[in-house]
Amino acid sequence: MFQLKLKVTSKEVKAYAAVSKDQSRIHLEEEEAKILGFKQPVIHGMYIMGRVQSAYIIKYPSKWLVDYYMKFYRPIYVDTVIDIEFSERKQFIQTVVLLEDGSIAAKGYLVTEDLR
């Protein structure tokens, strides 16, 4: 269907943390992320889900999102380039988020209806 490459910056993560009120230090502070076993701050999962949803709706504005599921397998670190792949699977739109090394960070699906 289509693919999107993006990089989420620390500025975006801080802005999302402020709006969402999720000020967890794992997302904002490198030292805290390392204490918890991560290499660096981790992007909010809901932010990634929002970016996936937005990318699909921008590409297909006549579609209405009726359901959405995503499972995370690996952390997505701030300032990492990710690829988001969209493919049709019957009534579902499968989504896969890939890290720079090609490993799967998250997979899920969108269920849509046509607005027309």
Q: What is the pLDDT of residues 29-56, one digit of tens each?
A: 999 999 999 999 999 999 999 999 999 9
Tell me phi and psi for residue 37, to 5 degrees: 95, 10
Q: Report the DSSP beta bridge partners of residue 68.
A: 110
* Res 12 pLDDT > 80: yes
More confident residue, 114 or 3: 3
pTM: 0.92
Local confidence band at 5 (pLDDT 50, 70, 90 cut-offs): very high
The CATH number for 48's domain is: 3.10.129.10
**Domain extent for 98:** 2-114
Total structural domains in the chain? 1
E strand map for the chain: 2-7, 63-72, 81-89, 92-98, 104-114
Say how far apart CA 51 and CA 98 lie, in whole Å: 14
85 near 95, Cβ under 8 Å?
A: yes
